[in-house]
Amino acid sequence: MPALMEPPQAKVTALTDEIRELTEADYPAVADLTQECFDRTTPPGALVAEKWIETLHLLVKCKIAVYLGAWRGDNLVGAFCAAVVPDPLNHELIASQMFWYVRAADRGSPLGGRLLDEIEERTRAMGANRLHTMQLRSSKASKMHSFLKRKGYQPLELHYYKHLNKEQ
């Protein structure tokens, strides 16, 4: 199995937003951004901020995830996390999106693409050969599909979910 390599250092992009690795001090801001996005899209399950932060901390501590934030001044306006893991079929390293959030006001701007480009660069530097990304079903799904196709992504599979606990 290939060894993971360290991701490159953070950089300031050409636009006014700074994209950098997120630190433990940033986790509450990411939890807030996540909640804002959950409120808009209503994915299955409930967000428990403490558990969310604990999981992110573990992924970073184990050095299997790239965890980036886009900042405009002191405001987190976007975040992307991808874990680099071996493909169970052939042990080739792949990057898998854990989350990708952009504030509603910045959707359709270059920000999401810049986060994606930076995640691609950093996961490639860690040895990943592919990046798997996803999108939640929404009224904007066709725009996201077109965006990802322009970036060179191909649809791979459709995911379904079912609550197994009758209380949900």
What are the DSSP calls for 66-99, one per residue? EEEEEEETTEEEEEEEEEEEE-TTT--EEEEEEE
Q: Is 16 helix (H, G, I), strand (E, B) or coil?
A: coil
**How far, in whole angstroms, is CA 73 from its chain's centroid?**
21
φ/ψ of residue 116, rounded to 5: -60, -45
End-to-end CA distance of the chain: 39
Give the Cα separation of 56 and 97 in Å (integer).
13
Give residue 163's pLDDT: 55
28: left (phi over 0), alpha (psi -120 to 50) or beta: alpha
Give the Cα separation of 34 and 151 in Å (integer).
24
Amino acid letter for position 134: M
Q: Is the distance from CB of 111 to CB of 77 less than 8 angstroms?
A: yes
> Is 0.85 surpassed by the pTM of this model?
no
Give residue 68's pLDDT: 94
Identify the helix (H) or strand (E) that includes residue 59.
helix 49-61
Amino acid letter for position 159: H
Helices and strands of the chain, counted as H and E runs? 4, 6
Give residue 129's pLDDT: 94
pLDDT, averaged per 10 consecutive residues of the chain (168 residues), comes to 53 64 88 78 66 81 89 92 92 90 86 92 94 69 76 71 60
Give residue 5's pLDDT: 56
Which residues pair with residue 17 across a beta bridge?
none
